[in-house]
Every structure is written in structure tokens, then in C-alpha cells.
Amino acid sequence: MEISQIIPHIEALIFASEKALNANDITELINNAFGFLEERISLDQVESALNGIQEKYSTEFYPFELKQSGGGWQFLTKPDFHKTIAQLNGDKFLKRLSNAALESLAIIAYKQPITKGEVEAIRGVNSDYSIQKLLEKELITISGRNEHLPGKPLVYSTSKNFMDYFGINSTDDLPKIREVLADQLVEATIIKPEDFTDNSVFDQTEDAEEAEPPNLPEETDGFEAASDEEDTSPESPIQ
């Protein structure tokens, strides 16, 4: 079967499927549908057809495109039409994850499989409510138990819905921690004497260094300096 003949069947399968389909799934489904053919289609043919379909729908003429998301291929509307679709789906597009839930989800995504106790050790607060909400939204799943820890606690991992939610095909598509931190680094500015045109700035600095420091009372009369540390007491779960 020619690739041009395969393409319509692949499009129909992806369009009708409730979940993302990978190339292996598509190959098997088409071969099952055309079992009477002596020559079965190959995985390479399907992958070539998928590339052609992806290029076809990438043009501005179509409001949707073929993307790898959730572990397979899906037809997804393009970002330019988000506001229009939001009118149809209402509050579904307005629901956001809380900061606490995002923190817990990020830790699970990068450290999975991980126990709730390990998540709490990293966050420094109780995470019962956050993990419960993530389970309800099906963004994480219980993937087993840690047999090496006392009590054999449950371990959590991200789900396929997690990949759909963030539009990625696998956890390998997540940004690397090193890349995220690199974006936040700010290089210090080096100030050199020749950068100044007014030498009086340096004269004033030298005079200040030579001057004797003022006499400060050693007694504090029982008062202590106020701490500027934030209150880090654990957050209480919202009921």
C-alpha cells in the first residue's frame, strides 16, 4: 500500500481516538483493518506518513495541527484559537493549579517515583491536600510502594494526563533543571575606577575608610534585633 493511501486512514484513526496513538498502535490497527492484504504496512511507512500529515496541517490554512503529546499523536487546535475555544468550554479552561499543587507536581515529575514523605521533605510542609488534588485531576498516579522504607509507603508518578496537560510527549521533554537555573542567573557588574569621570567619588571613599568608626554602645538594654526571616510554619491543608 502506498503512503498516499495510508494517510487518510491514519488521519481517521487519530481523529476518532479518545487517546493519543503512537506509531506502533497505528501500524497494528491499519494492518488489522486490511488483514486481507498480502503486503502489510511497515512502521517506517507509518512514520513517514505521520511526518507528511504533520507538515500538511502546519500551514496557516488549518486551525489545528498534528502534534506528539501524551505519549502519542493527536490533533490539537493551534494556540491562536485558545480564546475562541475557551468560550465553548467555559470554566474548564479557567481552572488553574494552586502554587502548592504545582510545587508538589514539579517535585514528582522530576523525582518520580517518589513518596509523599519525600515530597514533604523537599517542600518543608505537609502535602496531603496537594497530592490528593493531583490524584483527583489524574495528573499523578500511584505507581507502587517503596519496599525499602518503613511501612512501605506509596510512591507517585506522573500520568499520561500530565503530559496532555502540559503538551509534552514524555517527561524527557521537561526543561532540565540546569537550564531553568541558568535563565535565573544574573552576572555581577564589575565596576572599575576608569569607569568614573569624577575622581571625587574615590576621594570620599578613601576619606571614609581612614576615619575612625563612631563609638557605639555595647549594651543593648535587653533588646534584640528583629528577624527578617519569613514565617516558615507548615501550611495547613484546606478542607
Chain-centroid distance of CA 226 in Å reads 38
Around Cβ 164, how many Cβ atoms within 10 Å? 19
Domain ranges of the chain: 3-88, 99-182
Fold classification of 3-88 is Arc Repressor Mutant, subunit A (1.10.10)
Collapsing DSSP to helix, strand or coil, 69 comes out as strand
Are 131 and 153 contacting, i.e. CB atoms less than 8 angstroms apart?
no
Q: Given 1.10.10.10, 3.40.50.300, 3.40.50.720, 1.10.579.10, which CATH number is that of 99-182?
A: 1.10.10.10
Q: What is the chain's pLDDT, residue by residue, as a tens digit (239 residues)?
A: 788 889 999 999 999 998 889 999 999 999 998 875 567 889 999 999 999 999 999 999 999 999 988 788 999 899 898 888 878 766 555 567 888 999 999 999 999 999 999 999 999 999 999 999 999 888 999 999 999 888 899 999 998 888 877 878 777 778 776 665 555 554 555 555 555 455 544 455 555 555 555 554 554 444 444 444 444 444 444 43
Cell of 77: 487546535
Chain-centroid distance of CA 63 in Å reads 25
